[in-house]
Amino acid sequence: MNAPDANSGGGRQQPFELSIGCVPMRLQIADERLYSAVSARYGAFTGTAGQPIPIALNSFSAVGSHRPEFAYEFEGALLRTGSNETRFDGVRNEYALDSLLRVLLSWKLASREGFLLHAATVIRAGMAYVFAGRSGAGKSTVASLSPPGSVLTDEISLLRRGNGVWRAHGTPFWGEFRAAGSNTSAPVRGIFRLVQSAENRVAPLRPVELLRALLPNVLFFSAEPEANRRLLEILGRAAEEISGGELSFRRDRTFWEALPK
């Protein structure tokens, strides 16, 4: 529920609850303008199921004495998270907040058998097709050539394993900071590395080749060895359990004919 909360010293705090990839979070926001921007951007992802991660945004309260498990700075905005508290400080606008949310999610997903990937995801016949690649690889093209409403994201995909099944979840993280996406998910049919070509063709990738394709496209911001071991374990499992392919594709809708049903 998003309703005004007690004053914590810096202004009237308003909670904003959202859930991305079944990771529930509660932002405590004092800035009215930022609250409006957040409501508009994450409107499709409101509500939580389960205990949300409380995030103190630009809080005036003192930083706890516990050393954070993970900290990250982005253009003057600072994320600190630990078992007791998560704080975003120095957040001046929705762009900085969006960046810190991605970073926080990437960290939290590593302990929830999930990860964020530079990829577009499209649902077809109830299954999620994940198209991975750096900028310019064709993620936006694939998304634009897919039916409206079938695209979970054109920029950053969220994959999570639950009950032995990998699912792709919608995210609010779209290219050019567009507010889009839906808070739904579907079982993953495959992960496809994009290569623009004159013909449509899918070449299967062995697990190690898929892992090689995933690694440069994964969003992860910690250099801490144990966290990276956890991440590599998750990615290795994904590469072993999800079918992978290299999709050479023409810039028209016919590429779907080459993909497995």
Partner 1 sequence: MTTKVSACWQKNPALAWREIDEVTVIISPTDSVMHELNDTGSFLWKNIDGRRSAAELAELLAESYEVAPEIALIDTQALLEEMSSRKLVMPVPATGGELR
Minimum CB distance to partner 1, residue 233 (Å)? 6
Q: Quick one: 24 or 207, whose CB is closer to partner 1?
A: 207
Q: Quick one: 237 or 251, whose CB is closer to partner 1?
A: 237
170-229 positions binding partner 1, by CB under 8 A = 206-208, 211-212, 215, 222-225, 227-229
**Which residues 6+ apart lie within 8 Å of 41 measured at CB?**
94, 98, 172, 179
66-105 positions binding partner 1, by CB under 8 A = none
- Burial class from Cβ neighbours inside 10 Å (0-12, 13-18, 19+) for residue 140 reads middle
DSSP 8-class letter at 13: -
**Which residues 6+ apart lie within 8 Å of 58 measured at CB?**
10, 29, 30, 31, 88, 89, 90, 91
Q: Quick one: 56 or 213, whose CB is closer to partner 1?
A: 213
Element spanning 95, H or E = helix 94-109
Minimum CB distance to partner 1, residue 70 (Å)? 13
Stretch that binds partner 1, among 43-51, 59-67, 236-244, 245-253 (CB under 8 A): 236-244
Q: Quick one: 124 or 212, whose CB is closer to partner 1?
A: 212
38 contacts 27 by C-beta, under 8 angstroms: yes
Q: Quick one: 201 or 237, whose CB is closer to partner 1?
A: 237
25 contacts 55 by C-beta, under 8 angstroms: yes
Minimum CB distance to partner 1, residue 169 (Å)? 24
103 contacts 115 by C-beta, under 8 angstroms: no
Minimum CB distance to partner 1, residue 104 (Å)? 18
Query: Residue 233, CB half-sphere, CA atoms under 13 Å: how many?
Result: 11
Pick from 77, 117, 231, 242: which binds partner 1 (CB under 8 A)? 231
Q: Is 233 in the site for partner 1 (CB under 8 A)?
A: yes
Element spanning 205, H or E = strand 201-205
Q: Quick one: 91 or 239, whose CB is closer to partner 1?
A: 239
Binding residues (CB under 8 A) for partner 1: these are 206-208, 211-212, 215, 222-225, 227-229, 231-233, 236, 239-240
